[in-house]
Amino acid sequence: MNANLKKLFDRLEVQRMQLQTLVKDLSDVELNKHPTEKWSIAQVLSHLIASEQLSVNYLNKKILGIQTAEKSGLKEDLKMLLLIVSQRLPFKFKAPRTIVENTRVYGSVNPLISAWDKAREDLKEVLEKFQDDQINLNVFKHPRAGMLNIQQAVRFFKEHITHHTPQVKNLLKQN
């Protein structure tokens, strides 16, 4: 795997493990406790899993035609900066319909962790396909920001988890 991608992936893994540590001992009731008009912990984590898995599926298709991908530049750097800012603000965003429609909610901790392990292994496998000269090509389509390169995609995955972690922590306080 490209050294930059490996570093980003390793940080992403640390973040996932920290989040999983917070929820690994929850009962099914605690995991699925559904406060009024809010997602349960299971729904939040299932959303993260679905988002990542759908992205991996897309990346696997894009890498097949990577020779036609355009190089990212200042425009994509600016879009990434806006994504980071948006994920760190305490605003709610409506999840894209495709993700909502493809989110399987896991009712127990073990299947949830197993699903995330699988999604993360799939991400690792797709990242290993990228050659050093391909990491700055636009291959990831963010639902709002548009095309980004693979490094920016992995950074977005990290920011997405950062965005949802306070939500999980607040739900844990309510249990």
Give 104-137 pLDDT, tens digit per residue.
989 899 999 999 999 999 999 999 999 999 999 9
- 32 in a structural domain: no
**Residue 94 pLDDT greater than 70, yes or no:** yes
- 14 in a structural domain: no
pLDDT (0 to 100) of residue 101: 87
- 22 in a structural domain: no
CA distance 95 to 97: 6
- 21 in a structural domain: no
- 93 in a structural domain: yes
Number of domains within the chain? 1
CA distance 158 to 162: 6
- 57 in a structural domain: yes
pLDDT (0 to 100) of residue 37: 64
Q: Are 59 and 153 in contact (CB under 8 A)?
A: yes
In the chain, the amino acid numbered 157 is F
Q: Are 130 and 34 in contact (CB under 8 A)?
A: no
Give residue 88's pLDDT band: very low, low, confident or very high (50, 70, 90): confident
Please give the mean pLDDT across all residues of the chain: 93
**Residue 141 pLDDT greater than 90, yes or no:** yes
**Residue 77 pLDDT greater than 70, yes or no:** yes
DSSP-derived 3-state class of residue 146? strand
CA distance 10 to 17: 11
Range of the domain at 121: 3-8+40-174
Give residue 98's pLDDT band: very low, low, confident or very high (50, 70, 90): confident
- 160 in a structural domain: yes
